[in-house]
Amino acid sequence: MQQITDLAAYYSLTPSQYGKTVFHCSECGREHRIPINIVQSGQNLISSLPEIIDLLLPNQTYNIGIIYDRHIEAKINALFFSPFDQLAISYTRFPLGEHGLLLEASTEIGDEAADGMPANIDFLIGVGSGVICDLTKWIATKCHLPFLLMGTAASMNAYTSITGTMTKDKVKSTHWLETAQGVLMDATLLASAPHTMTCAGIGDLLARQVANADWKLSNLIRGTYFCPVPFEMMSRFQDAYLPAIPKIRAGDLDAMQKLSDAILVSGYSMTILDGETSPSSGSEHILSHFFDFQHEVFGKPKNLHGEQVGIGTIIMSTAFEILSETDPATIDVDEIQRRRLSLSDIQAETDRIFRGYSKVFDQVVSKKRIPDEDFPSYISHIIQSWESLWKGLQPYLMPAEKIKDAMTVSGGFTKLSEIQRTPEDALQALLYGSWYRSRYTILDLFWELGLFPEFAPVILERSGVLG
């Protein structure tokens, strides 16, 4: 591992150079580690696989297992297996899921594949995007196997992340998993993915402009840990891909590589925190996770993660703007205290709406709740430090209009109807999202300041996602 102590030197690294580094952070005092051996973004990377595998498994004969989604087998055959077969490396195929069915990153599918993994397999390659990435991490962790990820779409940022998001019993949760030995992002493969997937990746990356503000908010209000490095290390890569969006849309491979560089570094921002996802996942991801929950529980249509996150980012950056314009003098602590929902009010409400799932909500709510006796001084403190609070958040925010523009130029979704959610669905996500996920975000603050439920429709209206 390369030891780095200079902040400017750390920010100047390429995505490949970030592999195998430890940064002794002058900002937060922690050590930020990236244990991935080999990271490459470029073109025609499949041909360099023998070399890369030899580097990862030196002086060793090996049996490779290749994990991919059976549903897109024809595509994987053409794009990956056909050039890979010319390299004359022997391997075993492990297609997951069924033809005609969208694959889910569920612990059931992951466990089944791990249980059936032959003992002679000693290295795994996951070829795919988000779901295959999560499943490969899960299976490799369970089987104690080293693995490599070959991204087939720039649709999300978790390739280089130490975490995976898995669904168990209809509830998604983030798990600390083994890190890939290698991550390859081939622009040729990424550019042949459906364009909606690329737009989803842009949505997932833009989440940074809400997630870090939420993380800082939690630091300022709840005193939780924060470090600016994950946000700052992305700046250069965001500045490179944002203006290249029209070219990315036109299929330009160099522009696509700028996006894949940003995706790799965005994943690092979680890995350097030992799997804490706060720099990439705030209230905008809570909305997306809630849309997933609506799919599982109410049968609402499923979308790509990044498509939902993109819409969530537009909505939540608007929410930050609305709250920043609120005059703290108009907030009446006694009135808020009087209107505050009790734990039993909340339980009754989640029971009524979410029936069998209300337990999940109750656990989250009790974990985050400020006790009634401490609540008035807690709120008074927020009101008193209002100005410095917003000064602290400002560096991490981007105007909602700018985020919407980037999504529009990319050709991505900006309306609720495009992710097949009604305004009522989005209201439900805004109001109950903070009762469903334990991370403290601005959604909690809207409740604490007595602004929810009234402000939820105002946020939706102004964000422009309706209609």
From the list 122-130, 197-205, 245-253, 345-353, the region that binds Zn ion by CB under 5 A is: 197-205
Q: How far is the CB of 199 from Zn ion (least distance, A)?
A: 14
> Rounded to whole angstroms, how far apart are CA atoms 48 and 429?
45
SS (H, E, C) 354-413: HHHHHHHHHHHHHHHCCCHHHHHHHHHHHHHCHHHHHHHHHHHCCCHHHHHHHHHHHCCC
Q: Which two tokens stand for residue 143?
A: 């089987």
Site string for Zn ion, 213-242 (x = CB under 5 A): --------------x-x-------------
Is 28 near Zn ion (CB under 5 A)? Answer: yes
C-alpha angle with apex 117: 113 to 123, nearest 5 degrees?
Answer: 110
Q: Which of residues 270-329 bind Zn ion (CB under 5 A)?
A: none
**Binding-site size, Zn ion (CB under 5 A):** 6
Query: What is the per-residue burial (b if ≥16 Cβ within 10 Å, else e) of 12-22?
Result: ebebeebbebb
Stretch touching Zn ion by CB under 5 A, among 23-31, 48-56, 166-174, 175-183? 23-31
Binding window for Zn ion (CB under 5 A); candidates: 57-65, 203-211, 253-261, 419-427: 203-211
- Binder of Zn ion out of 69, 134, 178, 204 (CB under 5 A): 204
For residue 436, the Cα-to-chain-centroid distance in whole angstroms is 17
Q: Does 205 bind Zn ion (CB under 5 A)?
A: no
Measured distance CA(328)–CA(351) in Å, rounded: 33
CB of 362 to Zn ion, least distance (A): 26
- Cβ proximity to Zn ion, 204 vs 261, nearer residue: 204
Minimum distance from CB of 452 to Zn ion (Å)? Answer: 24
Closest CB to Zn ion among residues 80, 226: 226
Interface region with Zn ion, contact rule CB under 5 A, candidates 61-69, 100-108, 200-208, 354-362? 200-208
Residue 458 lies near Zn ion (rule: CB under 5 A): no
Taking the complex as a whole, how short is the minimal distance between the CB of residue 230 and Zn ion, in angstroms?
A: 8
10, 19, 21, 25: which one binds Zn ion (CB under 5 A): 25
Phi-psi region of 450 (alpha: psi -120 to 50; beta: other; left: phi over 0): left
- Which is nearer to Zn ion, 266 or 318 (by Cβ)? 266
Give the pair of three-digit tokens for residue 322. Answer: 């609305």
CB 226 within 8 A of CB 28: yes
Report yes or no: 138 and 110 within 8 Å, Cβ to Cβ: yes
Q: Map tokens 């105007």 to a residue.
A: 399
Catalog residues that contact Zn ion under the rule CB under 5 A: 25, 27-28, 204, 227, 229
